Every structure is written in C-alpha cells, then in structure tokens.
Structure 1
Amino acid sequence: MLSQYLAKYVDQQQSLGFKFRVQQILLRGYVSFAEKHGDRHIRSARVLAWAARAPSPEQRRNRLLTVRRFALAMHADNPRHQVPAADALGHAVVKRRPPYIYSADEIARLLRAAAALRPVGSIRPTMYVTLFGLLTATGMRIAEALALRIDDVTADGLVVRQTKFQKSRLLPLHATARLALDRYLVTRRSLTTTDRALFVSVAGQSLPYNTVRRIFLQLLDSTNLRGACAGRDPRIHDLRHTFAVRSLEQCRHDRAAIARHIVALSTYLGHAHVTDTYWYLQATPTLMGQIAEAGEALLIGGAA
C-alpha cells in the first residue's frame, strides 16, 4: 500500500519538473522499513524510528523532513496518514561556509596557470582558460557550464538549459568574454568528435566534474592559493560569489539603482528568489567603503 502511495507521489513531483532522485531513494528506504513492520499508512513513530538510523544529526533531520513532505501530500487525501512534527528531531543549525572572494590578480594567476597546462598545443589549456574565465565573467554554476552544448552558444549569448531550478535563461556576454569564447570555438571545431558538449577533453569527450575539480586543485597549488580561505581551499563555486560581489561594487550608489541591480543579478544568476542572491553577497573593503560613504551622506542630510 505504501509503495503505491509513493509511486503516485514520485510521479506527481517529476511531472512538476523536479528530478527527485535523492528524495526518491530516501523515501524508498523509509517505505521498505515501514512495510516490513506492517504499516499501510505513514506513522509518525515509524518515521522517527527510521530517521534515527541515520549516522548524523543532519542526515536524520533530512530523512525526517523528506518523509514529512511526503506525509503532508498523502494526508491531504487521506487523514489516516500521520504527519510527524518538523522539529521532532530538534532544530537545524545552519552552517554557512564563508565564501572566498578572489582578487583580480588571483583570477589572472589562475588563468595563466590554466594556459600553461599540458599537453602544449592541445585543446586542454585553451579549454580550461575559457571554462574558468566564463565562470568568472558570468557567475554560472560549474554544473551549468559543463552541461552547455555547442548549440547553446548563440549570437545573443549563452543559453543555460540545465539549471538548478529547471528554468532556462540567456546570459549575454561582455565583449571580452565573447571574444575569448569565439577563440576557443575555433579550436573546439578543429577537434574530431561527435560529442556536442561545449567543453571537452583532449579525447573529445565531455568533462566530468571530478576531473575539473582535480585540475582546479592543481591550479591552486601552482598559484599558492591552497588554504587561502581561512585555512581551507577556495572553491570553484567561489568564482560565482566573486562575480556577484564585484558586480555590486560597480553598481551606482543609490537605493533605486541597487534595488534594480539586485533583481537583475538574481535573474542573471538563475536564482528562484531574490532573497537567495543575498547569500552570495559578502563584505569587501570596496563595499564597506561605499556603505560608509552612504551613511555619512545620510548623517549630514545628503541623499543616500
């Protein structure tokens, strides 16, 4: 019985556009556990017993909340399904790793190190310079960049289709970014391959994330950036944070302009809600100086 409820729920979620892969695996584990105990409907006590089998507090809470969403959907049709309390295993502690904001010099060093990759004369150095350069210039997620196809390069910019929230978007490119991409495409077209991925290896195959991350760590080594983020390594994802912060630094310093900029930035980054964009903003000397200037102007009666 529970298996049938789950199949219906999974179909519903996937029809709404969600991949629902990890959640489906977790829910199958719960349903298997519950059915072994003879449950025909969701029971709060059983959910907690199953969730408690996870090895960490974070995983236990994730199990609970995943089944709870399933229970809420089922309870709407049949009140015999119980809905466990969201805080039955305590409250979550949000731990946000502070992003690393790269300086212009550090980004230039990373790109120079990428250009020096071997084999010399192969597509590899050009490809990595272009990949990391585009991440810096557009704030794309690395998964989005690796999912790009040749046909996603248009006269108006890059069409990003494989997004986190299943929403395609167009990324207009700065003239310098477009020039670098066009140069890479010349090299890319000379490679004999049937793979339509934009970024490919020397063998003409699309790149897995683990390979890109391994190369990125090599670049950190060669540029002495290992451990630069409070003793930890800067991440590829921090290029996205850097793009968001640097773009805000260049915004005109008045409330209306900043409000418009944040909305545009949120759209460009592909966020589902503008509040998600605030997580990407980090205090820098430039931004703090701008805030101080605005505060001083407000204090003396000027327009902030």
Structure 2
Amino acid sequence: MLTVDDVDLDLGILKISDSKNHNDRLVPLSKTMLIRLQRYSEQVHSSGSHEFFFPGYKEKPMTLGNVYKNFRRFLWKAGISHTGDGPRVHDFRHTYCVFKLREWAEQGKDLMVLIPLMRTYLGHQTFNETAYYLKWTADVFPDIRLKLERYCEGIIPEMEEFQ
C-alpha cells in the first residue's frame, strides 16, 4: 500500500502509515535495498506518475493475494516446499529480527539499547512484543541469552522456595 510519496529515494526512508497497532513510523533502508528500489522506480515509474509505489492491475495497489501467489511461485521455482504452516512472507520479518539480534550480540553491542530501537522499527507497542524474538534466539544462539543474563543479573531476584 506504499504510495510513491511514502518512499523517499533520496534519503532512503519509507513512511509506513497506519500499520501494526495503527502506528505510523519511518523506516530507514539499507544501502542495497535503496539501490534496488531506485532501479525499480526508474523502470516502473519512468513512464508516468503512479499513485502506488508497487502498482498492481489497473493502477490499483498490489494486493496481499498477489504478493502471496508470487511468493508461492518463487518458492516453487527455488524447489522449496510450501506447507500450510510456511514458509510465509511474514517469516522474513522474524528471520530479520533473529539474525539482527545475533549480529549485534556477536559484535558485542548493547542489546538493551538496541532492542528498543528494533521495537520502534517493527512498530511494537511493548518491549515484550520484541523480546519475543529473544526466545527464538535462545535455542539457536545461546550466547545472546548468556550476554543478556550477565547484563541483567540481579535485576530480577531468584525466588526462594517456601517450606
């Protein structure tokens, strides 16, 4: 549903309106994504003005059904089976979060500073919504859990058993 005006190809920022939890936010683009979107825009928008950045049939916005059908087609061509449980387009969001947390942990960055940034980037309202991704990293990347436990040690006291 992004309009052409929502995509700033000079600054590399997307304006996301009324998305998750009815939030508006600005999302910075990576350099590689910005280059891809600039090339895409040159090809698609050079012939005239379009209201939607990703126009669908008859200048209407691309539908979720169209995105899903194309995603299934790409999976098929790549030889990846698709069950009713996935993979789904939304899984890219989850994968991004898990791998970004791993990258930050490996670089020794302060996760307690960066997780709130991720929260804003994702449009979450609470820390717990974003902390959900930490659960996924615990099994795959246990070093993240250990670093957070070291950082947060003593903040939440251990419960002693009552006799």
Give the TM-score category using the shorter length: 0.7 to 0.9
CA distance in 2, matches of 1:217, 1:284: 30
How far 1:233 moved relative to its partner? Answer: 2.6
Alpha-carbon contact 2:14-2:29 (below 8 Å) kept: yes
Q: Where does residue 214 of structure 1 map in the other structure? A: 69
**1:270-285 aligned within 5 A:** 270-281=123-134, 282-283=136-137
Q: Where does residue 122 of structure 2 map in the other structure? A: 269
Q: Where does residue 150 of structure 1 map in the other structure? A: 4
Does 2:44 match 1:200?
no
How far 1:206 moved relative to its partner? Answer: 1.4
Structure 1 residues 251 and 190, CA gap change in structure 2 (3 angstroms): same
Q: Where does residue 190 of structure 1 map in the other structure? A: 46
Does 2:36 match 1:180?
yes
Structure 1 residues 162 and 188, CA gap change in structure 2 (3 angstroms): farther
Does 2:80 match 1:225?
yes
Alpha-carbon contact 1:191-1:204 (below 8 Å) kept: no
Question: Which structure is larger by alpha-carbon Rg, 1 or 2?
Answer: 1
CA distance in 2, matches of 1:173, 1:255: 23
Alpha-carbon contact 2:137-2:144 (below 8 Å) kept: no
Query: What runs of 5+ residues in structure 1 fail to find an aligned partner?
Result: 1-146, 299-304
Aligned length: 146
Alpha-carbon contact 1:156-1:172 (below 8 Å) kept: yes
Structure 1 residues 294 and 271, CA gap change in structure 2 (3 angstroms): closer
1:165 aligned counterpart, secondary structure: helix
User: What do residues 224-283 of structure 1 show as CA deviations (whole Å, max 9, x unaligned)?
Assistant: 22147xx84300110100111111011145997011111110011111111111233423
Equivalent in 143, 159, 164 of residue 20 of structure 2: 164
CA distance in 1, matches of 2:66, 2:124: 26
Structure 1 residues 277 and 176, CA gap change in structure 2 (3 angstroms): same
Alpha-carbon contact 2:72-2:82 (below 8 Å) kept: no
CA distance in 2, matches of 1:285, 1:278: 14
User: What do residues 57-90 of structure 1 show as CA deviations (whole Å, max 9, x unaligned)?
Assistant: xxxxxxxxxxxxxxxxxxxxxxxxxxxxxxxxxx
Alpha-carbon RMSD: 2.8
CA distance in 1, matches of 2:63, 2:144: 41
Alpha-carbon contact 1:245-1:280 (below 8 Å) kept: yes
Q: Where does residue 76 of structure 1 map in the other structure? A: none
**Percent identity over paired residues:** 27
